[in-house]
Structure 1
Amino acid sequence: MSWDSTLPRPWRALRIGASELVDGRPALLDPPGPALARQGFIVLSIDMPTFGERASVTEDAAAKAALWHGRTLFGQMLSEQAAAVSWLAERSDVDPRRIAVTGLSMGAALAYFLAAIDRGIAAAAHLCCYADFATLLETGVHDLHGHYLTIPGMLRETSTGEIAGLVAPRPQLICVGKDDPLTPPDAVAAALQTTQALYANAGAPASLVFLAQPGVGHQETPAMRRALLTFLHNYL
C-alpha cells in the first residue's frame, strides 16, 4: 500500500483516492488522468467511501456497518460509480455510447463488476484484481483483499470469471502481474477459463484481451499502460 503505516488508520487512507488521478501513487507509472487526457479522453474519478476526502471512517468499520444493515460496502461503491457514469453520460461533451471504465486494484474490481451490471458501458479495462475467489479461499490468500470486497453468498451463485464474462460481447482488457499475491496464477487461470468461454459463447472471443506479465507484482507496468491506451483507442 502507498500509505504510511505509522499514521493512525483513518488518516492513512487519505493518500489513496480520487486524487491518484492527478497525483499518482507508487503502484502507478505516473498520474493516469493527464496521460489519458493527452490522448483525447475525458476522465472522471470519484472518491469511494472510506477513501480520499471520505476517509473519516475506516474500510473495516464501514464494511461491518453495511453488513449489519443487510447491505455491503461494495454494493454502495458500485451504486455510486453507476451514478457517476449516469452523470457523465448527460454531459454535452461526452458521447454516452463511448464510455469505458478502468482501474487498478479495487478500481479494477469496480470496473468489471460495474460493466457487468451496466450495459451502457462500452468497454472495461482493469489491472491487478482479477482472480477466482474460490481458488483464493483454497490457497488462503483471500485475506489479502480488503473488506470492501465482501459479498455474502456470492460463491453460491456465481464467480468472478462469470461476472467478468457478463461484460461480453463488449470489449474487455484484463492485466495481471504473475507475481502479484492478490492474483496468483491458479486463481487467474480459473477465472480466465470461465470468462473466455462466455466470450466465445457470445461470439466475441477477440473482444477479450489478456495480458499477464512475469516478474510483476501489484503494480502497473509500461506494457500495461500501452495495452490500456491501445485498447481504448481501438474500442472507443
Structure 2
Amino acid sequence: MLPRRATMASTLAAALALAAMWRPRGLLVACSAADLAHVPASRARSVRGGYLMTEQGQQLRSKHNPRPKTISRHRDATTGSPGAALPGREMAASATADAGAGLRSEFLQVLLSRRRDLQVPLLVEQGSPVKDPLYQKPLGPKEAVVMESCPRKEVKNFNEMLVEENFYLITELGEQGRVPVLLLKLNDPVPKRKPIIVFLHSSYKCKEWLRPLLEAYASRGYICVAIDSRYHGERASNETTYIDALKSAWRNGDTMPFIFDTVLYLSPVLKGFRWAMDNNKWQARVNSIKPLFEEARIDLGKSEIDTEVVTKVWEKIAPGLDSQFDAPYSLPLIAPRPLLLLNGAEDPRCPIAGLEEPISRAAKAYEESGSAEKFMFIAEPGIGHQTTVNMVKEASDWFDRFL
C-alpha cells in the first residue's frame, strides 16, 4: 500500500494531468491580469454579470446589464433541486460545452505540435523544498506586502499543523517534462474532503513566490498547490531562461513558453491580443518581453518594432492567440462555472477598452445559462498592471463563496 503522502501526490497528479486535457465542470477561476495571467478593486467598483463600475465601464453597464442582479437561490418545483436549469438554459449550456470541447481540442493540438519531446505515461517523483528560489527579475518593493495581505485564519500551532509536500509530475521526456509541485495543507486528525486551489505565478517568478497565499488559504481549510510554469523556477537554469525560450520559439517554433500549456485552461487568457493589434495598443505587452521582439526585428530587417513585427512574433510563438483562441472566443466558454476577473483600470497591457467585447460576450453567456451571479469583472481605478491588496481580498472572498 502506498503511504498517505504518495497517495495524495498520485491523486493530485491525476487531477492535474486531466486538467491539461479537459476543463473540469467545477472550474472556479479568480485571475489577475498582473499575477495570474502569464494570462486577474474595491466592491464599489465591481461588476456582476459583466458591467464595469469605472468611468469607461459605465457605458458597458448601461449597454449590457442595466441593473445589478440580486443573487438568489431557488428550488425547482418539478425536480426539487436548487437552481435547476430551464430547458432553454440546458440547451445553451450543452452548446457552450460542445463549443468549449472543440476549442480545447484545437488548442491542445497546437500545443502538442510545439512539444520538443514525446509525452510519456504520467509518473510522480518525490521532491524536496527549494532553498534558493530562482527569480528572473528583481521583485518590486511592495509586491511582498500584497502577497502577505491574504486573509488567514488563526490556527493554534499553525507551523506544526502545516503539511508541505514537494514532488514532480513527469509528463513528457526532457527537462521541461518535469513539473515541480508545491502542496500545502493542514494536517487534520480526521481526514475529510477539502477543496483544492491551484495557483499560477506570473512571469519571471516561481511557485515559492506564492507561498504566503498558499499558507493563508491552507489556514482556512483549503489544499493549496503551486507549480513552476515552463522555463521558470526549478524549470529554469538562470535569469535569462524564459527570454531565451521565447527567442527559441521565434527562431525554431519548437516551444510555446508564453502559454500555460502544462495545465491548460486552469486560467483563461484575458488579454485581447487582436484588439491591441487593431488599435495600436500592443507596446506595453511587447515591452514586457522586449528582447524577443528586438531579435525578431533584426531577423525581419526592420529598423524598429512595428505592427508587422509584433504580428509575426505572436503568430510564431502563440499561434491563434490573436484569433480563434483570443479572449472574445475563449472567455464565454467558461460559463456557467464561477469566474472572477480582476484588472487594473489603467492597465496598459490589458487595456479596459480592449476588454469590452470579451466581457460583454461572457456576461451574455452567463446570463443565458442562468448563472449571471457566477461572473464578475472588477476594474480597480488608478491601477496599472499589478496585483493589489484589494484584488487579493476579492479573490479570497470569491473562493470562500463558491468552494
1:72 and 2:253 matched: no
Q: For residues 51 and 59 of structure 1, what CA distance do their matches in structure 2 show?
A: 7
Correspondence for 1:4: 138
* CA pair 145-110 structure 1, distance change in 2 beyond 3 A: farther
* CA pair 14-226 structure 1, distance change in 2 beyond 3 A: closer
Residue aligned with 1:211, SS: strand
Correspondence for 1:61: 244
What is the deviation of 1:177? 0.8
What is the deviation of 1:66? 4.3
Quick check: 2:345–2:382 contact (8 Å CA) kept in 1? yes
Match of residue 263, structure 2, among 66, 78, 81: 81
Larger radius of gyration: 2
Correspondence for 1:111: 267
TM-score norm. by structure 2 comes to 0.39
Correspondence for 2:351: 184
Structure having the higher helix fraction is 1
* CA pair 62-144 structure 1, distance change in 2 beyond 3 A: same
* Structure of greater relative contact order (alpha carbons < 8 Å, 6+ residues apart): 2
Q: For residues 34 and 228 of structure 1, what CA distance do their matches in structure 2 show?
A: 15
What is the deviation of 1:206? 1.5
Code of the residue aligned with 2:272 in structure 1: it is: D
Match of residue 132, structure 1, among 272, 276, 288: 272
* CA pair 4-154 structure 1, distance change in 2 beyond 3 A: closer
The alignment yields a C-alpha RMSD, in angstroms, of 3.1
Quick check: 2:206–2:228 contact (8 Å CA) kept in 1? yes
1:52 and 2:186 matched: no
The count of residues paired between Structure 1 and Structure 2 equals: 177
Give 1:93-172 correspondences, 5 Å limit: 111-112=267-268, 130-137=270-277, 138=279, 139-141=281-283, 142-144=285-287, 146=289, 150-172=317-339
What is the deviation of 1:61? 2.6
1:224 and 2:391 matched: yes
Q: What percentage of aligned pairs have identical amino acids?
A: 25
Correspondence for 1:16: 205
What is the deviation of 1:189? 2.2
* CA pair 197-215 structure 1, distance change in 2 beyond 3 A: same
Mind listing any 5+ residue stretches in structure 2 that lack a counterpart? 1-33, 35-134, 140-201, 293-312
What is the deviation of 1:201? 2.9
Quick check: 1:14–1:53 contact (8 Å CA) kept in 2? no
Code of the residue aligned with 1:194 in structure 2: it is: R
Correspondence for 2:214: 33
* CA pair 144-35 structure 1, distance change in 2 beyond 3 A: farther
